[in-house]
A and B are shown apart, each in its own frame.
Chain A
Amino acid sequence: MSNNQRLRVYFTGVGGQGTLTATNLLARTALMVGLDVVAGEVHGMAQRGGVVESVLLLGGLKSPRLDLGEADVILGFEPLETLRGLPYLHKGGTVISSSNPLPPLSVALGQAKYPDLATIKANVTEVASRSYFVPCRDLGLLAGAIQSGNTVLLACACAAHVFPFDLEALAQGIKTFLPAKIQASNLKALELGAQEYEKLAAEKA
């Protein structure tokens, strides 16, 4: 991918998961390697356990709001939210998603049913040309903290060559922009995410 390639990335997750922190890390890494970057997010009521969405635009794009059918990539930090956000993806785009559910309250209270992962994957495969589901929460815990599960997802995307920069740049971004005390767990998460990608790619091949 060339450096001036226009790329629209849509992030979706649940309030409190760290979706915005992950967006910011990726955006700062992109700026660090010399790309034109715009990122957008919406704060406010969404943070009280609601859906949190953000965007990252590379290559000189300006529009801070994405429309349905526009995203080249969806980074889903929660599988139900990946499915909800799927209409944002254009046909043939890429989806990298966590496979660890966070059931909404209505599901927890037995008033609604959480779609099973197979259904979510089937829906995604219908639109996306490439998709990878990664147990981010599990791998994050393995790396040392649930929140570093977000880095698992970013690393998987990097390894899949979704962005015009590589894993090394992301590692540099982690060392430059994250607080010292969480760098080790995030670098471990980066390693696990990259391994997970290799595993999934080998399965598909």
Chain B
Amino acid sequence: MNTHPLLDAKPKETHLLLGNEAIVRGALEAGVQMVTCYPGTPSSEVVDTFKRLNATDRYQMEYSINEKVAMEVACGAALGGAKSLVTMKHVGLNVAADPLFTTCYTGLPGGLVVLSADDPGCHSSQNEQDNRGYARIAHIPCFEPADAAEAHAMTIAAFDLARTLEQPVMLRTTTRISHMRGAVQFQELPSHTDLVPFKKNPGRFVPLPAVARKRHVALAEVMAKAKELSETSCFNQEHSQKQPVALGIITSGVARDYLKDALHTGNWTEQVDIFELGLTWPLPEKRLGQFLLNHSRVLVLEEGYAYLEKDIRALAQSIGASANIEGKDATLTEFGEYSHSLVVQRLATWFGVEAPLNPRRSVTPDLPNRPPNLCPGCSHRAVYYAARKIFGDSVVYASDIGCYTLGVVPPMRTADFLFCMGSSISGGSGLARVGQPVVAFIGDSTFFHSGLTGLANAVFNQHNLLLVILDNGTTAMTGHQPNPGMLQKTLGDNCTHIDIEAIIRGMGVEAVQSINAYNVRGLKQIFEQYRDLKGVRVVIAKQPCVLYAKRQLGKTQSKVAQVVQQGPETLACLKEFACPAFYLDGTDVAVDEALCAGCMVCLQIAPNSFKAVNRRA
């Protein structure tokens, strides 16, 4: 067991915590007993922190294979009476939606909190879906913190509500909240949490149609109770002026932060009443209704989709409130993130005044960009180089989710489409079926997450697909979390290694080969050999992630590459392999020793140009 302020700090102490760390402390104070997850930005620090704390006397935890599995394991634990937490990024909840939509019928006596970390602005995601919608259609309560202190407090409240109602509860953050740091005052850690004893009750927990119909009604009763609690929740706060005012703002989530600063900027604090929502589903309709009746003009401020605005409009209609309601417009849209300036502009329009903002300066044009790139020594680059040499633009490259999506960057250009986790295999199968030759790339963790079923389908339905598994032995993109493909000795005693090649052979694939991903000549040979075969063919390109090898496995190369001869071969390697450790010194190609990871792939590509030398320091 480790020592860590999140475990050791005394009650009443105040610490600066990341939003995600505040959730961990909140869960510990609430007595969490089971934690499951699939890592994904911006949620990953929650479970990585639980892993680091390693407080096995308090909770059990696992990195699950995917979000659906994580949700089901957590649901099972909550059914068995444990306070359970499952964490994921927003798109993960799409994967996990199936169990969620039925466990909301059965209920879960131990209490389940579902962390959905959304990513408006697509900082590291393929879409910016707003998962408050899931709370509405699954009929589960939803908390939306606006800072670290609230992330802490609402996590505690969410567990409390989940156990009181025996109903899954959503804790919904966004990238800004998960990755915001703020002061959090700690409370007492419980010495013990009770399990709610499991009692067999098929009439509740086995949703045959006759049971499900009854449980749907029971769910409505639970949500009616939740609505009463929402009316009195300390997280749903009205801030009224001493004298009645005509203007009222209803706001939720991070928009509350921007609103507070904007009111200060415009010196508007005394002109409006504010209704802040923190327990944002179900809505406290009685109080909101009264708020609508008390104001002639109401502005709804919420980042993301116009869920709240539409609910407020519907509420006004149902109670006959005549308030003029505004919300989304050309300034505050459903796209991307809100900000202080945007909210100032919106308020200024609403008040009918000039926006008190600093003039915006234009961006300096034509600066050299700094796009993310595969690291020096990353084996994906070697595989992509070999694939491009053999297939060029004659195939469609199906990519998947991980660092290797960066294959899209020139000169590799080995990513032509991507839908979601696992889509390289199944999307690639469909594309191949209608006549496109397809080479699909998937990482080891993504293969276990959503590739297995797609591969079984490809074998079963006899799709023509060349699949390359980029096996770097870890979940690199999100911070090197474990997956079943990792070596047994790095997994330790509590996880079991699963051999990828054995799975693929077990599925009946005959054309399958494992190869060192740095072996460019070998890769080219296999690609040529497999190019014209029919059916499913699989290449497993193995090489540990360089960052993982260095940081976790303690492996560094003592040799680095050096240019010994300039010429067309050297320039071609610079242009086509484009390792970030290369640079041009005048017209000469050179290698930055500090960046070179010593993979020596350049020596294979341009044997007359490079040689391996000892690293100097």
Contacts and interface: CB of A to CB of B under 8 A. Distances in A.
- Identify whether the interface residues of B are mostly helix, strand, loop, or mixed: loop
Interface string A91-118: 1000000000001111111101111000
A103 B580 CA distance: 11
Interface stretch (A33-41, A159-167, A180-188): A33-41
Nearest to B594: A146
A153 interface: no
Given A43-B41, A45-B124, A84 B367 contact: yes
Contacts of A70: 340-341, 358
A80 interface: yes
Nearest to B479: A43
Contacts of A24: 16, 181
A42 B367 contact: no
A27 to B, nearest CB: 6
Size class of the A contact interface (CB-based, 8 Å): 35 or more
A18 interface: no
Interface string B211-239: 00000000000000000000000000000
Contact of A64 (B176, B371, B403, B583): B176
Identify the interface centre among B358, B359, B403: most chain A CB within 10 Å of its CB.
Answer: B358
Contact of B359 (A49, A69, A114): A69
Interface in B150-183: 175-177, 179-183
Interface string B331-359: 00000011111100000000000000111
B183 A44 contact: no
Contacts of A121: none
B4 interface: no
B308 to A, nearest CB: 19
Given A37-B181, A61-B261, A69-B358, A86 B364 contact: yes
Contacts of B256: 62
A15 B376 CA distance: 14
Contacts of B357: 69
A81 B177 CA distance: 25
B370 A64 contact: no
Contacts of B339: 63, 65-67
B78 to A, nearest CB: 29
A83 interface: yes
A84 B337 CA distance: 21
Interface string A50-86: 1100000000011111111110000000001101101
Interface in B30-63: 41-42
Interface of B: 14, 16, 41-42, 123-124, 146-147, 175-177, 179-183, 254, 256-258, 260-261, 337-342, 357-364, 367-375, 403, 406, 477, 574, 578, 580, 582-584, 592
Given A42-B175, A67-B342, A69-B359, 13 more contacts: A24-B16, A31-B16, A38-B147, A38-B180, A40-B176, A45-B372, A50-B370, A63-B260, A68-B361, A87-B362, A107-B368, A108-B592, A113-B368
